[in-house]
Chains A and B, each alone.
Chain A
């Protein structure tokens, strides 16, 4: 009897939405790792086990806790921008729009914040605001095209991605180092534009890339959650996304809502870029010919986090964790592209999370039907 009760409560647990999401996400991660491992085995069986472990260990690769902590800080510093892109994607997605233009908005955010920092020595908050506005405007363009001309936001987004990438390259060439293709380092050229650390660096063995961007991005995730679930604005935006005819019928300004969604989504992506580049951890290469991957990784992180802003915090961290971990693969055994390849495979599997959830639901309902 008792065992039966236990079984029942276990099944009830399995039927809960949140638990299913968690399990599905977990399955994705395991399968992704497994697939990555198999690829490593195919390339070179000897180092495969070590390689996959170093991906998983990331900063724990360093035996000394102080050093590990410092590198943990770097991973977090890169998680913040990814989290912003994740939020950007899921915000638009919840409103029925697929913001594949997040990468372009991210590029514009990087371009504006770095240009203002390096050319005009603007303080960090001005650069931050500019990145946000720039990303927002670009998102708004895609939104307006959709609202007024019914141009699919995916097509518009992809086009705008390339336009913004090359525009930003052109703009930032003016402030690049003379000897390399990279933009000037903020620390030497415009220290006022660096995001303040507020003592956070001290917590991570003095890692100076650890800035207010990290807590800020988490706060923004909570803000996105509140807006989506608790506010009038979120109610309106979601209604518009789910059925724009009904939204219009109910007196909502459905075109405005669509544009506003893309503007907010763009702001989030733009801000993400500022979070990365204004921490000084990376410099923009004006010779890059690929749209920043951050925006696309945001898609995988959004799905892995089950399209929930709080889930996004963890999934963004996980994806950044393995992306950073990839760089610790032994380059003597594997070629240098392998780290990106393995991270890509794992990320690819992460986006299957909805598929697994559907499978799981089907299994559960079958079981119930059979009783």
Chain B
């Protein structure tokens, strides 16, 4: 009897998975496979790749760009692109460095002002984009130049500013919770929350007699999350413990995921990505949502910029330039957020950054030249975009069938 029920559930899953695949809802499956492949390849090339030390460093290295990529996810959901995030991240770092180091403003105040500078820059761009209806990538291209110029003028002649090695911002990426208990507690809380939310949903649906998840599927979900979380905690504890940066990153991603998927505001963002005209007819305030999205993107860029500055404890004229912008956009897209708008979650920024940083780290560890690294990352990005486009097309074809 039990065996029969089990086969029944398995058959149910197979049908659901097959339906999702044929409907083009691949979700994060491809990127997880790519990540696994990358890890296997580099581990076989160099056994140090999956060492606790390397993985721990990897988990801190993804944070700065990852936070910027989370902001990019919001913009991509609208079907737009924000090219100014690199410059804004540099601007925020410069504001912080000049205020704190050169002018002696308290660290916390300088930090707040720096983040707000990003918010303001994003809001200005968002409002002009929403009002003029010039595509966001053009508005933010202008922003890219403007904010970069502003950063250079703020830094002035000094060029490079070194941050306090033991200051608040430096601690952002250098602090580790050395006690083993912290990492395990965070893992337990994470898995517990996943279980509670799913269980509560099941109970409410059951109460009103609607279809609900089986206890088994809830247990499987929670189990998968718990295994990943506890494995990560175990590995991190074998080096220096849970990095503060990683904790902040994951909390922000989870919080913004909640905002996007469980609030009125988030629903509006998705709706705008699905069709501006439809959203307008449903009397959503398009201008306000578009402005807010770019404001969030600017804010996240500023926060990411501070983490990047913290990693090298200095701010220079080259902060926020180079491949940072491209990596942030690539991370969001590789992670599974659609370039066409309306599909994706903040978690894709985490997955995408893991892929990009794993490639970078593996290349460094195996002494491969940077040129090859760029080409491989480019290849992965191309594959991600193709998958995105194909799955979108198959979804539409599925609708007509």
A and B interact physically: no
A residues sitting closer than 8 Å to B (CB atoms) are none
Q: Which residues of chain B have a CB within 8 Å of any CB of chain A? A: none
